Amino acid sequence: MRPNKQTNKQLITLLLPLIMIIAGCQNAKLSDTSVLAPAAETTNESELDQWITQSITQPYQIEVLYRWDEKELLGTYVYPPQEEKVKSVLETVKYLFLESFELPAIGDLHYLKGKLPIRIKMYGGPNLDPNGVELLYNPLGTPVEMCIYNVNSFDPSDPEKVFLLMRSVFHQFAKRMLELYPYDRDKFYRISGHRYLSSTEPIAIPLSYQQSYKERFGLDTYAGRRGCYTMYALLSPEDDMAEMISATLLSTPQEIEYLFEETSIPDGDPNPEVAERYAREAALAHNELLEKQAFLSQYIKVHWGLDLTKAEVTILRRVAQFIQSKEEEE
């Protein structure tokens, strides 16, 4: 069907304004001034934001999320951190974690490249699960994100607060590395597979008796008698591996040796049969610890390219120096 003259007139009428606009644009001189405001004018970064960008985000490619965002901050005990506490926490993480692994005694300036989380989420309070057990990480998260809790109560001059912070940081970093450099899970599971729990309920009561962070999150003889370094290591093979790494980096060789010695000593009982059973259990737990320690050392050496003992000594020395410097500032 061919268009008639009336149709052509209507089409020209509709297109005429558009043709005039295009012609006007061709003849107009473009302004040298951008319609977009300069970056400095469009962003209202605070001094804290600028420090985070310069000290964390740019050098390490880590986004830091500390402002309250209900969609982003997931957990059981979530509320935003106090902004005046954020920098102190991040300075501690930077010095004791990021900069430590850049040292020749542990790694090098490029060691952490491609190994770090892409985001750090900061929480004001602790992360309590339904059983009332405080967790070091967010079970709903992934290893590419690191969650930092207890920001509002953090004090860089308090050894307990620094210990808790870094136990969480090293635990989560270990899980990130376990994801990047898989371990022989089946072989590791065969050592203590019968020990792992399906929830935190069985350890909730024993943990409730621990008063300090060092007692709650440190090396534990109750866990040692079950073939693990800490109570949290009983939750899964991944937690077991991460806890061994994290606890080692923040425990002296003497403290680890003491755990092994205590584990090898069975509970006494007047009943010979019970005493014999206790002796078998102690020997089994002690052997599990020795086997897992050897497994971990080999895994770290081969897959991480690190000497775990050197890392332990270096980080412990830096922790002591850091806390002392903060005490002197007060």
Domains and CATH numbers, the chain: 48-329 (3.40.390.70)
pLDDT-based confidence at 14, cuts 50/70/90? very low
Q: How far apart are CA 233 and CA 227, in angstroms?
A: 9
Judged against a pLDDT cut of 50, whether residue 101 lies above it is answered with yes
The mean pLDDT of 198-214, rounded to a whole number, is: 94
Q: How far apart are CA 4 and CA 208, in angstroms?
A: 90
The mean pLDDT of 237-242, rounded to a whole number, is: 98
The residue length of the chain stands at 330
Q: How far apart are CA 49 and CA 52, in angstroms?
A: 5
Q: How far apart are CA 195 and CA 285, in angstroms?
A: 10
- Residue 201: predicted pLDDT: 97
The 10s digit of each residue's pLDDT in 23-62 is 444 444 444 443 333 444 445 789 999 999 999 999 999 9
Judged against a pLDDT cut of 50, whether residue 306 lies above it is answered with yes
Residues 6+ apart with CB under 8 A from 268: 275, 278
- Residue 200: predicted pLDDT: 97
Asked whether 86 and 122 are in contact (CB, 8 A), the reply is yes
The 10s digit of each residue's pLDDT in 136-150 is 999 988 899 999 999
Residue 57: CB atoms within 10 Å: 15
Asked whether 230 and 223 are in contact (CB, 8 A), the reply is yes
Residues 6+ apart with CB under 8 A from 140: 74, 75
The mean pLDDT of 80-92, rounded to a whole number, is: 96
Asked whether 169 and 161 are in contact (CB, 8 A), the reply is no
Stretch among 102-106, 225-229, 276-280 having the lowest mean pLDDT: 276-280
Asked whether 263 and 285 are in contact (CB, 8 A), the reply is yes
pLDDT-based confidence at 79, cuts 50/70/90? confident
User: 109, exposed or middle or buried, with CB in 10 Å at 0-12, 13-18, 19+?
Assistant: exposed
